[in-house]
Amino acid sequence: MTRHTDESPDVLAKLHGQIAKDKDNDSTETGSFPVIRRKPKRVSLNAKSTRARLYSSVLVTMLCALLGFGYVIQLNNTNSTYETMSEDELTRLISETSSQVQKLEQRKSELTSQLNSLKDTADKNAKAAEIAKQNAESNGILSGRLPASGEGVVIRISQGQKQDIDASILFTLLEELRNSGAEVIEINDVRVITSTYISNASDGLDCDGTILKAPFVIKAIGDSDNLQNAVNLAGGVGSRLEVKYGATVSVKSSQDVEITATRSAPQYTYAHVIEQ
């Protein structure tokens, strides 16, 4: 009995030792058995992209829902505000709104009046500028500073066969044309103005300092029939040029007589403009 009891602990100790050795032999670190590790799964790019789009869609949907929810709350709050206001508060609000509308209408009326005033002023200024332009053109034509064109006649007078054409008969012709409504006159490229003079000279006729010689070409702008009758009138200046001086006179009507000769603006020594 004693022997059996002594051997039992030895057997148990050996058994435990063998179990421990077996555990050591089964360990993956001894190299007895190869260690097999799973490779991490590779996620494809398409899957990542799909998930990203899904997350984005969900996020956008949530944002839209939040915005809609906020708008509904705001609308409800506004309606609730009006609903909770007392009758006096609503009356005061309507009165203030009506007052603001009246002020805006008054301001609109003032601005409209100002706009109409500006338009009237602009129209008056434009009309004044147009009148000033017309006056400047008229004065420029009458004073000889500007060229002119229009309906009129062209008169040609040849050298006198019986005697030389003198200043008196030519001046008479100019006066007849003026009396018949000639607005602009030119003789041999000399512009005739209110102060024009013609005098006899040894080598021809002196017209405002320019010597004129036959043949004489006179251009006049005005009613062509009246001007033509002034020259061709029986016993008139045209007849005297032909009979007394032996000159040939021709008158040609035209709808486009051009007078290009101009004069410089005269310098007045004694006359001055009256300031109004």
User: CA-CA distance, 222 to 230, in Å (whole number)?
Assistant: 12
**CATH fold for domain 146-257:** Alpha-Beta Plaits (3.30.70)
For residue 33, the SS3 value is coil
pLDDT value at residue 157: 97
**Phi-psi sector, 189: left (phi>0), alpha (psi -120 to 50), beta:** left
Q: What is the Cα–Cα distance from 154 to 219, expressed in whole angstroms? A: 5
**Is the CB of residue 183 less than 8 Å from the CB of residue 222?**
yes
Domain boundaries, the chain: 105-142, 146-257
pLDDT in tens, 48-103: 566 666 766 777 777 777 777 666 666 555 555 656 767 777 788 788 888 888 88
pTM score, two decimals? 0.56
The string of pLDDT tens digits covering residues 5-57 is 444 555 556 655 665 665 555 554 444 444 445 555 554 545 556 666 676 67
Please state, in angstroms and rounded to a whole number, the distance separating the CA atoms of residues 117 and 132: 22
Window from 22-26, 171-175, 192-196 with minimum mean pLDDT: 22-26
End-to-end CA distance of the chain: 162
Q: For residue 138, what are the CA distances in angstroms to 135, 141, 194, 275?
A: 5, 5, 14, 21
Can you tell me the distance from the alpha carbon of 6 to that of 116, in angstroms, rounded to the nearest whole number?
Answer: 133
**In 3-state terms, what secondary structure has residue 73?**
helix
pLDDT of residue 2 exceeding 70, the answer is: no
* Among candidate residues 248, 260, 68, the one with its CA nearest the CA of residue 162: 248
